[in-house]
Amino acid sequence: MVEVTVTPPSSLADRPVEVRVRGLSPSQLVTLRASLKDEQGERFQASAFFRTDEKGELDLGRHPALGGSYVGLWPMGLFWFLKPDNLFRRLIKRDVAGSPFLFHLEVFDGFHLDFGDRDQPLASCQAERWYVGPGVQRVPIREGRVRGALYLPP
């Protein structure tokens, strides 16, 4: 059974995570895709091609991408190289304290350059990326022409 995991499944956006896939065939070519929808419903995604090791496993910290949104050993590449489906959109998180970005990760057999509705992933999972830790208090700052926010730890 194929399984894709993100460890930890919920983390702060500036913390690295481990992405692994298990249960594949040795030396199998696969495509791994990460996607999310921003607060306006716009989709951002990144994908990369990999070859599994002799155990049929894939670890983004040890296996370089062969192509796709990036090439080489980038353990966080699927999170860093997101591109919008619609040109000229930027990924911005306005509600940093109220909700995380929900990343959807999927693994597909073979090389996939374009994803259609009929493409079924071998496995998938979700990961939360928060911008504010639990218990952090946000204090709005308005002093003269200065505007900002102060984030206080618990």
CA 41, 100, 96, 138 torsion-angle sign: positive
The predicted model scores a pTM of: 0.87
Q: Is pLDDT at 138 greater than 80 in this prediction?
A: yes
CATH class for the domain made up of 3-152: mainly beta
Q: Is pLDDT at 116 greater than 70 in this prediction?
A: no
Task: For residue 27, count other CB atoms closer than 10 A to its CB.
Answer: 10
| Among 104, 110, 100, CA closest to 14 | 100
| pLDDT tens by residue, 25-68 | 999 999 999 999 999 999 999 999 999 999 999 999 999 999 99
CB-CB contact of 14 with 20 (8 Å): no
Three-class secondary structure of residue 19 per DSSP: strand
